[in-house]
Structure 1
């Protein structure tokens, strides 16, 4: 422990957050203890409180950090406007599933624990979801504008499609992380084929309707 006293604050804080994410993912917010988090981080419990004030603030900091990391992974590959919308959507889906597969504890915190503990945690998780939905809304809108033939997709339809796609991605990521042998690329391809084939028909004004 003596050697860790010289660690910069940012490094020490990262260690605490890493330990907290692991504990919250395994046990949930209520069951995870500050004693266990401190022990896993290799620091004293008073130091955790000194840096992050309370268990609630620690959990909020975990949600924010992991949400920002996931958003950054997706944003990095979808913002190049020189790439066609379908290829950007594919890149975004692949980045999303690769990140959630590579950080299963973080995804468990974001997708399950943050949303079941009420406020302010649910709001933090919802903010991340809306930012991803905004990316997808933009891509679907661009694809619709670039499509040939009659297109009758209004802003409300585009927003609804984006929400449906994001919800499907979240469910599929949770399934993939819990299914042995499932890969990020497989999950991304499954959703891309399911979603884009339908979107392609919709953009050609080929709509399904009940008989």
Structure 2
């Protein structure tokens, strides 16, 4: 009898296997310390095959960033039901964000820490992902603000800064939650809601906080 031939793994499946291994190594060891030898060994393939499929360490890292970014954006969008009230939409969006980052801590490390600290073009890939999430959150807040103020023409710029602040705070909180034993995704989302929605609730109700008026300094004669 002749030798039994084993079925070759489809290229797409093999490539995802390599990306899985690369995300784990990059996320845990960092971009500079990660080696292609480690990635190939974890993926169960030869190093030349990794280079054949993904060209270089830089291209492999970029592919990891793009896959992680796409998955995160899709998770957040899928977690929000547009028929819910504004606070519930924000709650579900935050819940989806923290659930995803908790389930994929290595991918979040790649996005939040590694990609941002190793220059272009890696930082640009993350910036594009972040802009998409900020735009999504901006529309959530804008819809709520327009409804609360009964002003369908309320300019987007009125809430754009709030969305930037909210996303930035959520990113930092996700990194902290992943590094702090015992903190669940639900707890992180609740913390973010308590931090954000109290202020947003007052804003929607027409009770924005205003800084105190600047007092004029003393005149030239000290009076």
- TM-score, shorter chain, exceeding 0.5: yes
Residues 152, 203 of structure 1: 8 Å contact kept:
no
Which residue of 2 is the match for residue 132 of structure 1?
133
Post-superposition Cα deviations, 1:56-92, rounded to whole Å, max 9, x if no partner, equal: 00000000001111111001122x3322222111110
Root mean square deviation, CA, Å: 2.0
Superposed displacement of residue 154, structure 1: 3.9
Post-superposition Cα deviations, 1:30-66, rounded to whole Å, max 9, x if no partner, equal: 1111111001100000000000001100000000001
**DSSP-derived class of the 1:30 partner:** coil
TM-score (structure 2 length as normaliser)? 0.88
C-alpha distance 54-5 of structure 1, shift in aligned 2 (>3 A): farther
Which residue of 2 is the match for residue 178 of structure 1?
179
Residues 151, 203 of structure 1: 8 Å contact kept:
no
**DSSP-derived class of the 1:29 partner:** coil
Higher Rg of the two aligned structures: 2
Which residue of 2 is the match for residue 40 of structure 1?
42
Give 5+ residue unaligned stretches, structure 1: none
Aligned pairs for 1:107-118 within 5 A: 107-118=108-119
Residues 146, 154 of structure 2: 8 Å contact kept:
no
How many residues are aligned here? 209
* In 2: Cα distance, 1:186 partner to 1:14 partner: 31
Which residue of 2 is the match for residue 159 of structure 1?
160
Superposed displacement of residue 27, structure 1: 1.5
C-alpha distance 142-151 of structure 1, shift in aligned 2 (>3 A): closer
TM-score (structure 1 length as normaliser)? 0.93
Higher helix share: 1
Aligned pairs for 1:17-166 within 5 A: 17-78=19-80, 80-148=81-149, 154-166=155-167
Aligned pairs for 1:182-193 within 5 A: 182-193=183-194
Residues 94, 189 of structure 2: 8 Å contact kept:
yes
Give 5+ residue unaligned stretches, structure 2: 213-223
**DSSP-derived class of the 2:206 partner:** coil
